[in-house]
Amino acid sequence: MDLKKVKRFIGRASLYAPIMDLETVFLKYLPYVTREERCTWGNFDEKAKGVASCISNWEGILSDLKTGESLLEVGPGNAFIIALAGVEKGAKVTVADRFPVRWNAAFHPKLYAACRRVLPEMRVFDYLLRKEDFSAVFEVLPVAAECVAEHCGAKFDWVTSNAVLEHLQDPVLGLSSLFSVTVPGGRHLHQIDLRYHWLSTSPLDHLICDYEKFSRWRAAFRCEMGCQWRHSEWLHFFETAGFKNVHLVASSEQGKAYLERVRNKLEKSSSKYANWPIEDLRISGGLYACSKPL
């Protein structure tokens, strides 16, 4: 079965409320391919280019990070992008993921060897390739963001994530947990993608879906398709969790023509986003920065 086709079909199906009840069918019959298997597919030089460019980007974002400071990366996935940028800058790094990825002999040596070719000046790849074990380089916590506070005694100077918070089941719960493992004055940087993940050509069409139905369907698929919450709602979530100076550097915005098309569909729907301000709909992702008050 072609997984891409299945995914695209689920993506389309999700837009239509009557088809939502098919979720149990999908859950039962979707072939299960582990992340360990999936990540070994494809061209490693291409993968490495993307990973290396993200690591460089995060090195720049973390320009104020000082040697010896502590950094938590939430949801590092299989490439550990921010964690590696943090290690390279001399930080004491911890990662927390609800499904942590272990060292995969069929994937990580090839990926990091290719990354080293793209970024030969970075020492962290050599170190990791020698150790062949993430826990020799940073601490790995097998916990979801929502539970970090219960499982982690440490407090961090920096808490970061890349393409993770849109997968939280309950953003205020997750952000409150991350707030409580932050030192006073500690900084948070979270890249959040507000687009629908399963249909890249229609990044906002999922807003037409009834909020309750979408939430049920989202939970059934472990929140993997992203979220409906818009920028103004995220600002509110961060502030409710206790953060101050919340601001966004937007990196993804929707164009006028698409926004008008979505706006027309929304106006005819019973969605909670039917009369949502267009300026808020326009923003579809970026880097949220904030801090815990002193």
Ligand X SMILES: C[S@@+](CC[C@H](N)C(=O)[O-])C[C@H]1O[C@@H](n2cnc3c(N)ncnc32)[C@H](O)[C@@H]1O
**Residues making contact with ligand X (CB under 6 A):** 74-77, 79, 81, 96-99, 144-146, 162-164, 167-168, 174
Nearer Cβ to ligand X (140/248): 140
Burial class of residue 215 (count of CB atoms within 10 Å of its CB; 0-12, 13-18, 19+)? middle
Query: Which residues 6+ apart lie within 8 Å of 222 measured at CB?
Result: 167
Both tokens of 167, joined, read 């997968």
Query: Which residues 6+ apart lie within 8 Å of 257 measured at CB?
Result: none
Q: How far is CA 232 from CA 117, 179, 204, 237, 287, in A?
A: 41, 19, 15, 9, 14
Nearer Cβ to ligand X (82/209): 82
Q: How far apart are CA 32 and CA 35, in angstroms?
A: 9
Query: Which residues 6+ apart lie within 8 Å of 21 measured at CB?
Result: none
List strands edge to edge, sheet with 92-96: 139-141, 92-96, 70-74, 156-162, 182-193, 283-291, 244-253
DSSP 70: E
Diameter of the chain by CA atoms?
59
| CB 264, min distance to ligand X, A | 31
User: How many other CB atoms are found less than 10 A from the CB of residue 260?
Assistant: 11
| CB 193, min distance to ligand X, A | 8
| CB 143, min distance to ligand X, A | 7
| CB 99, min distance to ligand X, A | 4
| CB 162, min distance to ligand X, A | 4
CB 45 within 8 A of CB 114: yes
CB 242 within 8 A of CB 181: no
Nearer Cβ to ligand X (11/174): 174
At 141, which amino acid appears?
Answer: L
Nearer Cβ to ligand X (198/276): 198
| CB 274, min distance to ligand X, A | 29
Nearer Cβ to ligand X (59/259): 59
Nearer Cβ to ligand X (75/285): 75
Nearer Cβ to ligand X (125/276): 125
Q: Say if strands 156-162 and 182-193 run parallel, antiparallel, or are unpaired.
A: parallel
| CB 161, min distance to ligand X, A | 6
| CB 165, min distance to ligand X, A | 8
Nearer Cβ to ligand X (75/203): 75
